Structure 1
Amino acid sequence: MLRHVLSVAVPLSLSVLLSACSQSEPPKPLARPAMVVQPQPARAATEAYPGEVHARYEPDLAFRIGGKVSKRLVDSGARVRRDQPLAELDPEDVRLQLEATRAQVAAAEANLQTVRTEYQRYKTLLERKLVSQSQFDNIENTYRAGEARLKQIRAEYDVARNQAEYAVLRAPQDGVIATRRVEVGQVVAAGQGVLLTLAADGDREVAISFPEHAIERFRIGENVSVELWSQPDKRFSGHIRELSPAADPQSRTFAARVAFDDAKVSAEIGQSARVYVSADGQVPLSVPLAAVSAEGGQAFVWVVDPATSTLHRQPIRIGPFAEDRVPVLEGLKADDWVVAAGVQVLREGQQVRPVDRDNRSVKLLAKE
C-alpha cells in the first residue's frame, strides 16, 4: 500500500515543480563588456597617398624612320650612356638609297663641270663679239640650273645619310632603360609608339594621383613630406612640382609629380613611396581604426548612450586612414563614447557594460 502511494506522489510533486519553473521569468542576459573611448583631437592631421619613384625626365624613344628591327641591344633595367646604340633597323634599304643619292651627286657635279666650261667659253666669245647676248644668256641659265641641281642633290644626299644614321636608335643621355616594347623582327613605322623609355640620370620624383573630390585642396608648390618604402623611419621634404589639369578618364584621378627638396636623396627608379600632405586642420577629431565599420559604402561607429548604456549606430564621414587612427570629418562630437573593439558582433539597441583598456568599468560622463 505504501509503495503505491509513493509511486503516485513522486510524479505529482515533480510535475508541480516543473510547472512552477515554467511560470517564472527567464533571467535577463548579462550586459556585454565593451571597450569605449572618446574621440581625440587630430594632432597634425595629414593625408597619405601612395606613389612610385620616377626620373624627372623620361623620354619615350622610337625610330625616326620605318623598317624591320634587326638588333635589340638592351633590356629593361640596363644602364646606358649617351649616344650608346639601343636597337638597329635592317640597313639595306637606307644603304641603297644612300648609294643612289651619292651617284646622283656625282652626275650633277659632272654636269656642272661641263656647263661651267661652256659658260666660260661663251663668256670669252661674247667679249669678242663672236656670239649674241641671247646665246650667252641661254648658256648662263644652263650653268645656273646646273649649280641649283647640284645643291639640291647634295641636300638629298645629306637627308639620305641622316636616315642611314637614324637606322640606329641611340640613347639621348645617360640613364636607365625603364621600359622596353621592341623585339627583333618587329616592323616599325617612323615614330611608331614607344619602343623604349629612358629614365634619365638626375633628379628623382614621386608620381602620385590625387582623388577627384579633393583636388581643389592641392596646388603647385605646396610643401609635402615623402617616405620611401626602403627607409620607413625617414621623411624627406618635398613639394608638388606638377599637377595635371585634367582627370584620368579611367581612374578619375589627377596625376601629380612631387619633387624632393634635396636633390641628393637616395631614391631608386620604381621604389614605392608615400606622400604626406597636411590637412590644414580640417580634421578636428579621430577615432581608433578598429572602431570604424562600414556597410553599403557608409562608414559608421557604435556610440554608447550614457543614460541607458545601449548602442546605436552613428554614420560618419571619414578622411584618409592613418596607421592606427581614422580622422572623422562629420558625425561625432568630442563627448561621444565610441566602442573601440569587437564592433563586428554588436547590434542596434544592445546593452553593454563600458570598460577601458584595462577592463575597468567606465562611468559615461561627457568631457568637461
Structure 2
Amino acid sequence: MSTAYPSLRPTTYLSAALLPLLAACSESAANKTADPANASPAIPVSVAQVSDASASAPVTVTGTFGSRDEIPLAFKIGGVVARVLVDEGATVQRGQLLAALDLREIDAAVAKAQVGVDKAQRDHARLERLAADSVATLAQLQDVTSALDAARADLTTARVNREYATIVAPEAGIVLRRQGTPGSTVSAGQQVLSLGGSQRGRVLRAGLTDRDAMRVRTGDKASVHFDAVPDRTFNGTVVLLGRAADARTGTFTVEVSLSGADALPSGLVGQLTVQVRPTQQASAANATARHAIPVDALIEADKDSATVFTVKGGAEPIAQAVRVRVAQLQGDHATVDGLDADAQVITRGAPYVTHGARVRIITQATLDSASPAATANKGNAP
C-alpha cells in the first residue's frame, strides 16, 4: 500500500499549484466578456413606428369623369329622322329642340283620329235623339257612347305620339353622344342622343372591390389626378356608394364630386384616392393585427410573407426578427399582419441585422449633425 502513495502525491501537489493560475485565467476571461470594448459593436439602424393601416392605406382606383345624370334621349315611336340640331359637346338649355322625326305620317295619324272622333260624336248625337223618341234602344245608345269614348282615346294617343316625335332637352346640360343622323330610320325607344345633365353636377365614377367598398363611406375626402391635367390635383368628396354590386364586373359604384372641375370635358380618366376614415370596429381589429409599415422594413419576402426586425429594450436595444404576412402594398408602405401596435420596425440597415444583434438607433437629427455641411459649420464656429 505504501508504494502507491508516492505515485499519487506529485499529482496532488501539481493540481494545488495550478489552482491559482486557473482562477486567474477564469477571472481574466470573465473580465474580457464584461468589457464593453471587447463586445461586438452595435449596428447603426433607423426605425419607424407602425401606424394604423386603416388611416394610412387609402383606397386608390381609376375612374371616369362625367355628369352624374346621363340621360338617354329617344323617340317614343319609330320613324324617319328629319333633323338632328345638335352635335356632341354642345351645351343646351332646358326645353331646347334637339331632334325631330318626319311628321307627315304622324300628323296624318292625328288627323285620322280626329275624323274618327267627329264621326263618333255625330253618331252619338243622332242615337240620343232616336232614343228620346223611343226609336233606338238603350243598347244601341250605349254602343255609340262606347265608340265615342274609344275614338277620343285614339285621338289622345295620336297626339301624344305627335308630341314625342320631337326630342327636347329635359334639363340644361351637354350633349355627350349623338347616335342618330337625318334620313335614318329608328325604332321606338332607340337612343338618338345622350345628354349629360347639369342639375346634379358632375362626378368621377369608379368601381370598387368588395373589400374597398366596405372601407369607404359617404363624406370621405378624396383627391383626383388626371393625366390630361398633370399639374393639378382636384379635391372632392364621396357623394354616393352603391349598395349592390354590378352584375357584370362585381364592383360597387362610387361617385365623387369634384370642386373646380366644371371646365373639364366629360370622359376624362382620373386616378382617384379616397382617404378612408377608420371605423371603431376596424380600428380595434387593426390594433391587434394589421398595421402599416415602410416597405424598407421588409426583407426575405416569400409570396405574401416577409421578415421584419423590431427593436426591444431601452438603453441597449436588441433586434428581434418577426415573420409577418403582407396584406397589401401601396406606394412606399405595406399593410402587414402580425405586429404589435406599439412596435418599432428597423428600416435603414435592416439587411445587415440578425436576430438578437445589438443595434444603435440613428435619428434624422444625428444624420444631419454628421453631414459634411454640419461638420464644416461646426469647424468655422468661433
Question: How do residues 187-336 of structure 1 correspond to structure 2 at under 5 angstroms?
Answer: 187-192=185-190, 195-219=193-217, 222-229=218-225, 232=232, 235-236=235-236, 238-245=237-244, 247-258=245-256, 265-268=259-262, 269-270=266-267, 272=270, 273-280=272-279, 281=283, 282=286, 285-288=291-294, 298=304, 316-319=325-328, 321-322=330-331, 325-330=332-337, 334-336=343-345
Instruction: Name the counterpart of 1:13.
Output: none
Q: Which residue of 2 aligns with 1:6?
A: none
Aligned equivalents of 2:300, 2:108: Cα separation in 1: 70
Aligned mates of 1:313, 1:155 — CA distance in 2: 81
TM-score norm. by structure 2 comes to: 0.59
| Compared CA separation, residues 240 and 42, structure 1 to 2 (3 A) | farther
Q: Render the CA deviation track for 1:217-276: whole Å, top value 9, x for unaligned.
A: 345xx430022436856644x34533232x33443321123457xxxx433354535332
Aligned to 1:4: none
- Determine the C-alpha separation between the residues in 1 that align with 2:345 and 2:100: 70
1:227 maps to a residue whose letter is S
User: CA shift at 1:66, angstroms?
Assistant: 1.9
Q: Tell me which of 102, 107, 130 is aligned to 2:114.
A: 102
Residue 48 (structure 2) pairs with residue 48 (structure 1):
no
Could you say what secondary structure the match of 2:70 adopts?
Answer: coil
Looking at structure 2, the residues matched to 278 and 242 of structure 1 have their Cα atoms a distance apart, in angstroms, of 15
Structure-2 change in CA distance of 1:58 and 1:200 (3 Å)? farther
Alignment-mate amino acid for residue 220 of structure 2: V
Aligned twin of 1:70: 82
The count of aligned residue pairs is 296
Task: Identify the residue that residue 170 of structure 1 maps to in structure 2.
Answer: 168
Q: Which residue of 2 aligns with 1:182?
A: 180
Q: Which residue of 1 aligns with 2:357?
A: none
Q: Point out where structure 1 has 5 or more consecutive residues left out of the alignment.
A: 1-34, 127-134, 307-311, 347-353, 361-368
Residue identity opposite 1:101 in structure 2: A
**Aligned-residue CA RMSD (Å):** 4.6
Structure 1 counterpart of 2:15:
none
Q: Answer whether contact 1:319 1:328 (CA < 8 A) is retained.
A: yes
Letter in 2 for 1:75: D
1:163 offset after TM fit, Å?
A: 0.7
Q: Secondary structure at the match of 2:116?
A: helix
Distance across 2 between alignment mates of 1:197 and 1:287: 47
- CA deviation profile, 1:309-341 (whole Å, cap 9, x unmatched): xxx99774243625xx31322266744434689
Partners of 2:179 and 2:191 within 8 A in 1? no
Report the residue type matching 1:278 in the other structure: R
Among all aligned residue pairs of Structure 1 and Structure 2, give the percentage whose two residues are the same amino acid: 22
- Give the 3 Å change call, closer, same or farther, for CA 148–74 of structure 1 in structure 2: same
The DSSP-based 3-state class of the residue aligned with 1:60 is strand
1:3 aligned residue: none
Distance 1:227 1:106, change over 3 A: same
What is the CA–CA distance in structure 1 between the aligned matches of 2:167 and 2:135, rounded to whole Å? 52
The structure that is helix-richer by fraction is 2
- Asked whether the equivalents of residues 58 and 273 of structure 2 are also in contact (C-alpha less than 8 Å), the reply is no
Corresponding residue of 2:150: 152
Q: Which position in structure 2 is the counterpart of 1:351?
A: none
Match for 2:49: what amino acid? Q
